[in-house]
């Protein structure tokens, strides 16, 4: 599987505590304006705007215009992709490995070097 | 604001027409990324619409509010299977397809005109999986997740 360049953008966007805080705020109360989001962060309006731009570029925040109001929504789709690419498959092989170990121990086998699993 | 809204956005390297077809007319294709589920409709404004499970059970029932192929689809539907979700009434789902550079930006906005909607909460785990599968299928030719809730992951969800 080739890595797409937007994966870098996504992980960089997540690698900042203020941006993660913004995502938590949106998770609790989705569809917020910039002013509403500023109330939750001890930071200048420009700072919050910059962080939101990074989140938007990484597709972690989606914008919906309601009249002249710009509303920010948390977009969970890239997080789902991280889950599928970086968590689910490792979790699955570990569960399989534990299951294999249990079966072999219960069958009275001694464990030396693990057999190579087919991937 | 007495409404619950969720927004899902993804960029898929495909054409507007292919994506439209994947979201509407092509029921067999839909089943591949929607965990066996497909939607039935004439896909024109005002026509009936329903979502059917792999076993043939009607899960959601409603109508197409607006259909502008291949860029806009608005569906109003009411859940049918779980009584507490059916009681919430109809939700409104808007699907937009917008060409951006070499990709199509797919935006799905799902709204229920009430606060803390259980339906919106219930579908919020499903939409990202469906959209992610659709993207993988169109771009790479295979889905990322074959089951919505694989047995070894997310147990109890």
- Residue B22 forms part of a structural domain: yes
pLDDT at residue A63, rounded to an integer: 94
Using omega within 30 degrees of 0 as the cis cutoff, is the peptide bond preceding B118 cis?
A: no
Q: Which helix (H) or strand (E) holds A20?
A: helix A17-28
| Interchain pair A76, B128: CB under 8 A | yes
Q: What's the pLDDT at A119?
A: 46
**What residue numbers bound the domain in which B131 lies?**
4-140
- Domain membership flag for residue B149: no
Q: Is the CB of B72 inside 8 Å of chain A's CB atoms?
A: no
Please indicate if any CB of chain A lies within 8 Å of the CB of B1. Answer: yes
* Percent over 70 (pLDDT), chain B: 90
Q: How far apart are CA B124 and CA B135, in angstroms?
A: 17
Question: ∠ CA A107-A112-A117 to the nearest 5 degrees?
Answer: 80
Sequence-distant (≥ 6) Cβ neighbours of residue A24 within 8 angstroms: none
Q: Assess if residue B79 is contained within a domain.
A: yes
Separation between Cα atoms, residue A107 and residue B49, nearest integer Å: 55
Which chain A residues touch B131 with a CB distance below 8 Å? 77, 80
C-alpha span between B123 and B128 (Å, rounded): 9
Q: Are B147 and B157 in contact (CB under 8 A)?
A: no
pLDDT tens figures, B6-56: 999 999 999 999 999 999 988 999 999 999 999 999 999 999 999 999 999
**Structural domain includes residue B133:** yes
Query: What angle do the packed helices B16-23 and B126-140 form, to 10 degrees?
Result: 130
> What residues does B97 pair with on adjacent strands?
B106
Q: B112-142, pLDDT tens digit by residue?
A: 887 778 877 777 778 888 998 999 999 988 7
The structural domain count of chain B equals: 1
> d(Cα B15, Cα B55) in Å, to the nearest integer?
31
Calculate the average pLDDT of chain B: 87
CB B147 within 8 A of CB B133: no
**For chain A, which ranges sit under pLDDT 70?**
1-5, 93, 110-119
Query: Quick one: pLDDT at residue B152?
Result: 46
pLDDT at B70: 95
Residues 12 through 31 of chain A touching chain B, CB cutoff 8 Å: 30-31
pTM: 0.80
Q: Which value does ipTM take for this structure?
A: 0.77
Please give the share of chain B, as a percent, with pLDDT higher than 90.
58
Q: What is the per-residue pLDDT for A113? A: 57
Q: How far is A32 from chain B (nearest CA, A)?
A: 11
**Which chain A residues are Cβ-neighbours of B95 within 8 angstroms?**
none
What local confidence, expressed as pLDDT, does residue B1 receive? 47
**Judged by CB atoms within 8 Å, which residues 44-103 of A form the interface with B?**
59, 62, 64, 73, 75-77, 79-81, 84, 88, 91-92, 95-96
Tell the residue number behind the tokens 């086998």, with chain if given. Answer: A109
Q: Is B110 on the interface with A (CB under 8 A)?
A: no
**CATH number for the domain including B126?**
3.30.530.20
Residue B13 lies in a domain: yes
Q: What is the pLDDT of residue B20?
A: 95
In a domain, B156, yes or no: no
User: Minimal Cα distance from A31: which residue of B?
Assistant: B5
């Amino acid at each position: 599987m080739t890595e797409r360049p937007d994966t870098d953008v996504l992980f960089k966007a997540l690698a900042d505590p203020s941006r993660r805080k913004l995502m938590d705020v949106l998770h609790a109360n989705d569809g917020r304006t910039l002013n509403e989001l500023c109330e939750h962060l001890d930071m200048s309006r420009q700072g919050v705007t910059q962080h939101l731009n990074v989140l938007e570029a990484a597709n972690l925040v989606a914008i919906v215009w309601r009249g002249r109001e710009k509303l920010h929504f948390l977009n969970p789709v890239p997080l789902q992709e991280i889950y599928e690419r970086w968590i689910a498959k490792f979790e699955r092989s570990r569960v399989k490995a534990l299951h294999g170990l249990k079966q072999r121990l219960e069958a009275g086998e001694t464990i030396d070097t693990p057999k190579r699993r087919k991937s | 604001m007495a409404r619950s809204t969720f927004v899902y956005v993804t960029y898929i390297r495909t054409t507007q027409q292919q994506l439209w077809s994947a979201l509407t007319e092509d029921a067999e294709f839909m089943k591949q990324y929607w965990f066996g589920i497909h939607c039935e409709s004439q896909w024109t404004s005002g026509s009936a619409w329903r979502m059917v499970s792999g076993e043939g059970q009607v899960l959601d029932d409603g109508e197409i509010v607006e259909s502008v192929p291949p860029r806009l689809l608005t569906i109003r539907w009411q859940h049918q299977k779980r009584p507490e979700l059916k009681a919430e009434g109809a939700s409104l789902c808007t699907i937009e397809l917008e060409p951006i550079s070499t990709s199509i930006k797919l935006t799905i906005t799902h709204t229920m005109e009430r606060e803390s909607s259980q339906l919106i909460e219930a579908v919020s785990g499903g939409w990202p999986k469906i959209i992610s599968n659709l993207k993988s299928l169109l771009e790479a030719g295979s889905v990322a997740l074959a089951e919505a809730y694989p047995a070894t992951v997310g147990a109890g969800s």
